[in-house]
Structure 1
Amino acid sequence: MTTQLFNVGQTFGVKAPAGLVIEGFSATDHPLIPPATPYVFRQGLAALIAFLRDPAGDAFLLTGPTGSGKTSLVCQVAARLNWPVQSVTCHGRLELSDLVGQFVLIDGSTRFVHGPLAVALREGHLLLLNEIDLMDPAELAGLNDVIEGQPLVIAQNGGEVIRPHPKFRVFATGNSAGAGDTTGLYQGVLRQNLAFLDRFRVLPVGYLEPEVELGVLAGAVPSLPPEVGEKLIAVANEVRRLFVGEGESTAQLTITLSTRTLVRWARLALTFRGAPQPIRFALEQALTARADPDQREAIHRVAADVMGDLWTGSSAA
């Protein structure tokens, strides 16, 4: 694939030195290039671009609460640089061999099919391991040499050797930073091997600032009145503070209102506009129907306090 230089300021819509560029790819038709969507890039962009320019034997871990935009940050950067992404959602039964490849029966014959790690390594794609802290640390330790730039040797395929493409990069996302879940909110999160974690740069990703999130809402739900969007965001931020234990109340919520849920709430509020209490009904559909009764009541109380007449009214507009 032919490479191309992209101006950072123009490509990502951020303030950057005029001559600052990042190398990506010129071809736009690769099926694994993520689709570009409206996106507001944050401070973490600088760290991510620095890593893409020169990983220096590191991988890159984005950590933060659910729905804070960890995966979307990587994918939207890749989309604008035409950089294909091999994306894998990790789980407790995922093994290194699933990433490397395996023999598969095809048209009556057994063939070795390369997995996302092998393809990314060979072709210069980004390998994105989502929810990496759900995977067995003993399996992840097999990535140590590859992250440092060593070739991948596939013993089960006759000792095949794949040398890393100069554009190969490893990203991972997780709700913890690898030290396990101390909150009890993320079931299945495992404490990771220290030697493995030592190979990562780490970027904490929090929720969007209110003014930025308002822009996201305006882009996703343009017919939503700005004053309504501001109140929805105020509710979301109070719920988030309770979720992470920073609210005035001593009670901590076990569900939160992520940006994706916020957008869902806004869309549903407009969908049910004209029905009795559309804001409340939309919030139940978007989030609180899966909360236990006490937490549902607590979130609705927060929403009622913030939304005022909109909470009991018959219109979201």
Structure 2
Amino acid sequence: MQTYVVGKPQPFPVGTTFGVKAPKGLAVEGFVDDKNPFVPPKKPYVFRKDQLRDALAFLERPRGDGLYIVGPTGAGKSSLIRQAAARLNWPVQEVNCHRRLELTDLVGQFKLVNGTMQYMYGPASIAIRDGHILILNEIDFNEPGEIAGLNTVLDGASLVIPENGGEVIHPHPKFRLVVTGNSSGGGDQTGLYQGVLQQNIAFLDRFRFLEAGYMEPDEEVALLGSLVPEIPDEIRARMVKVANEVRRLFVGDDENPGTISTPISTRGLQRWACLALDFKSAPNALEYALERTVLLRAQPEERTAMLRIAKDVFGELWQAKADKGKGTPSQPDAASAAA
């Protein structure tokens, strides 16, 4: 049985590792080995200081807790941990939850391999054994009775696998459990997230919570600049403004519920920018890309409202080429020509 245990510990300076302002000499523990196949790949990511502080405090010293990250869709809940782990060379096991997910899917089960039945360890067993971070995405989609099977592990007890002859897996000291959800485990009170279930209160009591919201406008503009530098600053800034106007109508406030059910997430914003470049030869690349990013899955009245917001925000730039002002135009690619 091949294992991928975390390597030798190594301190990483917080400021230079995560691109944030931090006191000189402030470091967090990671690992020397960056060849572990379960270490996530590094991608551009803007770490927000408050969220990073809580995440690193948990990774450094969980004190028997799990970490529950709650926030709207596409706000970077999983990416926060995934990209922190990528910079610390910390291996990750990641699972997307759903109603049919069972504890055996996480722990392991016997499967037919080359004509013989072999016990195949699941992501939870691997993480617990080898000191990885286990991320359970959309935890509030899962049946609460199944996930509650991890309660004793969070309490520091060993994982016992009766199906594999009563095997006992002692938790590695670097094992961490992180879950994400659009709700905080009490069910969806907004009606925006179909399929969200109320979770077991005993399970929730074993977590500290971190709230992840959408980025500040200047942070999202900077992120888009690192991902799609061909798009001018003015176009990127207005894309972000459109996204925030749509999110405001999605979230609503204490007095008025949200009037739009399809937000433009940070993930969607990146897709809009990339598609605007791919289809830059279209009569209106910004509108064409926005349609394929979010408008075509929105209700007709919501589609009209979002398109009106975009036109109002961009004004005379609405017909502009996505890469206007970036030097000599490149030859259109196949996608541009088709558009």
Normalising by structure 2, we get a TM-score of 0.90
1:30 aligns with 2:46: no
1:9 counterpart SS class: helix
Distance 2:258 2:142 in 1: 31
Question: What is residue 239 of structure 1 aligned with on the other side?
Answer: 246
Larger deviation: 182-191 or 265-274? 265-274
Q: CA deviation at 1:247?
A: 11
Superposed CA deviations along residues 63-86 of structure 1, whole A, max 9, x for unmatched, are 100000001100000000000000
1:40 counterpart SS class: coil
Question: What is residue 305 of structure 1 aligned with on the other side?
Answer: 312
- Corresponding letter in the other structure for 1:60: L
2:134 counterpart SS class: strand
Distance 1:278 1:247 in 2: 37
Distance 1:224 1:67 in 2: 22
Q: CA deviation at 1:275?
A: 2.4
1:308 counterpart SS class: helix
- Corresponding letter in the other structure for 2:106: L
* CA shift in 2, pair 1:247/1:238, >3 Å: farther
- Corresponding letter in the other structure for 1:6: F
Q: CA deviation at 1:17?
A: 2.0
| Long gaps (5+) in structure 1 | none
Distance 1:314 1:12 in 2: 35
* CA shift in 2, pair 1:251/1:14, >3 Å: closer
Q: CA deviation at 1:3?
A: 1.5
| Long gaps (5+) in structure 2 | 1-6, 325-339
Question: What is residue 227 of structure 2 aligned with on the other side?
Answer: 220
Q: How does 1:254-265 map to 2 (within 5 A)?
A: 254-265=261-272
Distance 2:258 2:184 in 1: 24
Q: CA deviation at 1:271?
A: 2.4
**What RMSD, in angstroms, separates the aligned Cα atoms of the two structures?**
1.5
Of 106, 120, 128, 1:99 maps to: 106
Distance 1:250 1:198 in 2: 29
Of 271, 278, 283, 1:276 maps to: 283
* CA shift in 2, pair 1:239/1:246, >3 Å: farther
CA contact (8 A) 2:67 2:209 kept: yes
Distance 1:181 1:277 in 2: 38
Superposed CA deviations along residues 232-291 of structure 1, whole A, max 9, x for unmatched, are 111000000000014998761100001111111112222222422221111101110111
Q: CA deviation at 1:210?
A: 0.5
Question: What is residue 237 of structure 2 aligned with on the other side?
Answer: 230
Larger deviation: 243-252 or 163-172? 243-252
Q: CA deviation at 1:89?
A: 0.5
Distance 1:267 1:145 in 2: 45
Distance 1:161 1:239 in 2: 50
- Corresponding letter in the other structure for 2:27: V
1:86 counterpart SS class: strand
Larger deviation: 206-215 or 6-15? 6-15
Q: CA deviation at 1:6?
A: 1.2
Distance 1:281 1:270 in 2: 11
* CA shift in 2, pair 1:199/1:180, >3 Å: same
Question: What is residue 137 of structure 1 aligned with on the other side?
Answer: 144
- Corresponding letter in the other structure for 1:227: E
- Corresponding letter in the other structure for 1:24: G
Of 62, 71, 95, 1:55 maps to: 62
Question: What is residue 9 of structure 2 aligned with on the other side?
Answer: 3
Distance 2:124 2:213 in 1: 28
Of 173, 177, 180, 2:187 maps to: 180
Q: CA deviation at 1:130?
A: 0.4
Percent sequence identity over aligned pairs: 55
Q: CA deviation at 1:315?
A: 2.2
- Corresponding letter in the other structure for 1:112: Y
2:11 counterpart SS class: strand
- Corresponding letter in the other structure for 1:186: Y
Of 145, 149, 158, 2:156 maps to: 149
2:93 counterpart SS class: strand
* CA shift in 2, pair 1:249/1:221, >3 Å: farther
- Corresponding letter in the other structure for 2:19: G
2:79 counterpart SS class: helix
Q: How many residues align?
A: 316
